[in-house]
Structure 1
Amino acid sequence: MALSRSARLGALATAALSFCLIAAAPAPHPGSDGVGDPYFPQLGNGGFDIRHYALDLAYEPDTDRLDARATITARATQHLSSFDLDLQKLTVTRVEVNGRRAAFTRGGDEIRITPREALRKNKTFEVSVDYGGVPEPLSGPIVFGSDYGWMKTADGVFVACEPNAASTWFPGSDHPSDKAAFDIRIKAPKGLTSVSNGRLVGTSTKGGHTTAHWRETKPMATYLATATIGKFDVRTGRTPGGTPIYVAIDPTLPKGDVDVYGITGEVTDYWSKVFGPYPFEETGAIVDDMPQAGFSLETQTKPIYSAVRSENTIVHELAHQWFGDSVSPASWNHIWLNEGFATYGPWLWNEYKGRASAHESFMAAYNARPADSPFWQTVVGDPQRDTMFASAVYQRGAMTLQVLRERIGDKDFFRLLKSWVGQKRYSNATTDDFVRLAERVSGEQLDELFHTWLFTKGKPALP
């Protein structure tokens, strides 16, 4: 059938437009090997956004060996010719992208993956990585001089990864700005209990091994993931307010006078009134015997404690479920948004219990250090990598909040806290974000207050 002249011209125009669109499409190029965090430039990766991790882990305590497959679902944010995942030291044996084997290389703590076909911007893709070896904890001055990450215990492993140790046991984008949902399946010898984030989907036993399947449906930063294994006494139920609770305690630890289960339930419910609804599906605790870890960590839904810790420590870690876990720092220089708020938590709790007002706690912290103390030389709003967990980040961060409270009044202050966790729920934030919201809620100009207490060296004068 012959085409008319106008039809031929229309077809030619359509072909020319298609050619121009194809020609204009940007060529695929590699994703960056880091997100440019000021303290950890190569943590995280560019060119994609991870939506979900499915981790299938098999662990043998006798040899400390981990064999695993990580299946990651992500959305490309650019046209990708290749992309990176963070993974430290473990041996990678196979990589697939969208079900097809992909080439990969190793360099430092990175896996560079080249799929057979370029990945198109805004398209979802799946990458699976088979890997194994003996995970090694990290050490150094960052976390109180303690080892952290994947840490061998007498009967299993204690896993607490802030800020950069998640990639010691699974590949991913190991930066808090790239949150995702998780399914974590842990296979370990029968008789051991495997505890992770979210809620327990189920367990199955076969051939002398038990596999536990945990699911965290809410967005989670990688450093908050855990796969702790050992012998535990487990207690489950609901808080008085109705939130599911799961508490696992190493039976070899002395019980002392701290009721971890009871305090966890009571504090979760109280923070739900003060800060707003509990952001996750389950609360709880993991209490393990790990004396080499001189810290506890706010692993999402179940803070992990390296011994039976104090009531104030439990209060602190549960405050983190709102401040740090649900609302996470956009980059690690904003760490005070985690630790200052969580440190302020016990001040509020003790005020609620009638032990001491938050003002009295503030004055005790303020008066405890003379003006010439090195404590006052830490710039809390940007403390630098090796001092990001300095006591000033915690204590002076909390002092900043009390000064703010006394400046704007209780009504606006507590409205601010609820607005902050409500507006930033499951996302990332910066100090500037908080300052802007504080000014909007209070109607006051607060730049000088925050500059003095967060960014100025030296002991501030009392307001």
Structure 2
Amino acid sequence: MSHSPAPGERSPQRRRFPRRRAALLAAAAVLVLGAAAPPTPEARGIGDRLFPHLGNPGYDIAAYDISLVYHANNQPLDAVTRFVARSTAQLDAFNMDFTHGAIASVEVNGAPAQFTPAGEDVVVTPTDPVSSGSSFTVTVHHTSDPRGEGEGGWVPTSDGLVMANQADAAHRVFPGNDHPSDKALFTFRVTAPKELTVVANGLPAGQTTEGANTTWTYRTLHPMATELAQVAIGRSTVPQRGGPRGLKLRDVVPAADQKALESWTARTPDQIAWMEKRVGNYPFETYGVLIADASTGFELETQTLSLFERDVFTKAGFPEWYVESIMVHELAHQWFGDSVSPRVWSDLWLNEGHATWYESLYAEERKGRKLVDRMRVAYQLSDQMRADGGPPAAIKAPVPGKKISIFRPVCYDGSALVLYALRQRIGTAAFDRLEREWVRRYHDSTATTADFVALASEVSGQDQARFLQPWLYGRTTPPMPGHPDWKTTPPKPA
């Protein structure tokens, strides 16, 4: 994710039994059989420090198959979400992350299951418990509601919808395990009026038209975190071009703006080639730029299809070097954040710090914006960034009601500064080897800050833990290697 500055600036679910009948049955069980009343359904999570209720214990999802029927961008979509998972414990009941939709039914392995909402979770009780270590299938018939205020999920555009699910919002679109540690393959089947175009993550896998509607199917070839899911519906055109090594590229742009935007989207092949020289081959089956006529306040690295606001390319006031750098920022995320995803949200600095790093390198090499100048300014402001947002690897929790507030400046320049300090310490050659090995070793997987520190030590041949500890977790900024004259500005009192 990258933030967009102003120009010139940087439903309730149905119960299986009526409430009264269920209460009477429970009371009878206690009086007649002596059994305890069933526990009250509650939201559960996997223990993420920043989002305690996100994710669900007891299972890992291998694949999603999500069918959506679109009517209008102010009406709920009809949906069926199926996922195949493997249990890691016996499941007499389990939770799914889901909100902003009404569930009609849930099936587990083809049999009807009971379901009860609990916060932004749904507690599912299958007819037969799922044994530990077994594969099972869940089918949920539901709606997916784009209406109402909130952070993330569906974003209405002038002519349809797009998704922006970071950091805690995919479950506003579909039920599942909404945490980046549980990556899965995805299939999307989206039905919309035939005059509209639908594009989703991955590659097209079929298109059929019946009457007034067309159904579009897309499949990913690599596992994906839920926060990176993307479905775009609108009056769009999809120009295609070739990329490095025969990579298939496709963009999604408003049909009326295709010619005006071509000068920007045509730069993607060269940007990919630039990234590949530094970190290795592009990690996925395709790539493209999704330009939406919407106001989000940020750009977003949805997997294989990065989301951009139309105004970034069409509104006066954004310098050319800046726009290209932001394009590279989201592109770099395909390696750092998408292919290698954070194990927990506290590892966010690995995503944004690296994307900011390559954005800055590109601006230096192609546009003459010196990296050292940007890092000097970042260093000067670093103590203030840490005071406001926490240290890079232990950022502060989101402001209540503002989940994306975790994306503070310390995640961007403050985290790129850690990478600059490490390169100053181990040298450019070792740092470049580290970057390549990081995306090679952990591709299609998740990794932690501890994994990065260990790999930095391995590649450099020296233990880097003591050096990186204060850079990653300290309240104040350590001295910068090679720049003893650099000073920080004391933070302002809170």
TM value normalised by structure 1: 0.87
Root-mean-square deviation (CA), in Å?
A: 2.3
Deviation at 1:448, TM superposition (A): 3.7
452-461 or 250-259, which deviates more: 250-259
Find the partner of 2:406 among 388, 391, 401. Answer: 388
Find the partner of 1:302 among 289, 292, 305. Answer: 305
CA gap of 1:256–1:405, structure 2 versus 1, over 3 A, is: farther
CA gap of 1:337–1:138, structure 2 versus 1, over 3 A, is: farther
Letter in 2 for 1:71: R
Would you say the 8 A contact 2:144–2:173 is kept in 1? no
Deviation at 1:253, TM superposition (A): 5.1
Deviation at 1:240, TM superposition (A): 3.8
Find the partner of 2:437 among 400, 414, 419. Answer: 419
Looking at structure 1, the residues matched to 418 and 306 of structure 2 have their Cα atoms a distance apart, in angstroms, of 25
Deviation at 1:371, TM superposition (A): 6.0
Find the partner of 2:176 among 165, 172, 197. Answer: 172
Residue 220 of structure 2 aligns to a residue whose secondary structure is strand
Q: Deviations over 1:8-52 (max 9, x none)?
A: xxxxxxxxxxxxxxxxxxxxx999831111111111111111000
Letter in 2 for 1:352: E
Q: Deviations over 1:107-135 (max 9, x none)?
A: 21111111111111221111100001523
Deviation at 1:312, TM superposition (A): 1.0
Would you say the 8 A contact 2:299–2:307 is kept in 1? yes
Q: Deviations over 1:386-411 (max 9, x none)?
A: 24200121001111111111211111
Find the partner of 2:76 among 43, 65, 68. Answer: 65
Would you say the 8 A contact 2:342–2:348 is kept in 1? yes
Counterpart of 1:450 in structure 2 is 468
Residue 436 of structure 2 aligns to a residue whose secondary structure is helix
CA gap of 1:342–1:122, structure 2 versus 1, over 3 A, is: same
Looking at structure 1, the residues matched to 42 and 130 of structure 2 have their Cα atoms a distance apart, in angstroms, of 11
Unpaired stretches in structure 2, ≥5 consecutive residues: 1-38, 313-322, 399-404, 482-494
Would you say the 8 A contact 1:252–1:289 is kept in 2? no
Looking at structure 2, the residues matched to 81 and 32 of structure 1 have their Cα atoms a distance apart, in angstroms, of 16
Looking at structure 1, the residues matched to 478 and 262 of structure 2 have their Cα atoms a distance apart, in angstroms, of 36
The within-5 A match list for 1:228-267 is 228-252=232-256, 259-267=263-271
The within-5 A match list for 1:22-61 is 33-61=44-72
Find the partner of 2:96 among 81, 85, 91. Answer: 85
Unpaired stretches in structure 1, ≥5 consecutive residues: 1-28, 140-146
Looking at structure 1, the residues matched to 96 and 144 of structure 2 have their Cα atoms a distance apart, in angstroms, of 17
Deviation at 1:366, TM superposition (A): 3.0
Find the partner of 2:87 among 76, 93, 97. Answer: 76
Counterpart of 2:187 in structure 1 is 183
Looking at structure 2, the residues matched to 315 and 323 of structure 1 have their Cα atoms a distance apart, in angstroms, of 12
Deviation at 1:86, TM superposition (A): 0.7
320-329 or 198-207, which deviates more: 198-207
CA gap of 1:453–1:370, structure 2 versus 1, over 3 A, is: closer
TM value normalised by structure 2: 0.81
Would you say the 8 A contact 2:153–2:169 is kept in 1? yes
Would you say the 8 A contact 1:166–1:225 is kept in 2? yes
Counterpart of 1:4 in structure 2 is none
Find the partner of 1:108 among 116, 119, 125. Answer: 119
CA gap of 1:62–1:135, structure 2 versus 1, over 3 A, is: closer
Q: Deviations over 1:267-322 (max 9, x none)?
A: 2222222112211100111100102x110100000101122531111100010001
Counterpart of 1:192 in structure 2 is 196
Would you say the 8 A contact 2:383–2:475 is kept in 1? no
Would you say the 8 A contact 1:31–1:46 is kept in 2? no
Q: Highest CA radius of gyration, 1 or 2?
A: 1
Residue 219 of structure 1 aligns to a residue whose secondary structure is coil
Counterpart of 2:490 in structure 1 is none
Letter in 1 for 2:358: G
Residue 470 of structure 2 aligns to a residue whose secondary structure is helix
CA gap of 1:313–1:341, structure 2 versus 1, over 3 A, is: same
Deviation at 1:105, TM superposition (A): 1.4
CA gap of 1:407–1:95, structure 2 versus 1, over 3 A, is: same
Find the partner of 2:355 among 342, 348, 355. Answer: 342
Would you say the 8 A contact 2:385–2:409 is kept in 1? no
Letter in 2 for 1:416: L
Where does structure 1 differ by over 4 angstroms across 4 or more consecutive aligned residues?
Answer: 29-32, 252-258, 370-377
Looking at structure 1, the residues matched to 163 and 293 of structure 2 have their Cα atoms a distance apart, in angstroms, of 12
Looking at structure 2, the residues matched to 182 and 201 of structure 1 have their Cα atoms a distance apart, in angstroms, of 12
Counterpart of 1:157 in structure 2 is 161
Verify: 1:400 aligned to 2:410, yes or no.
no
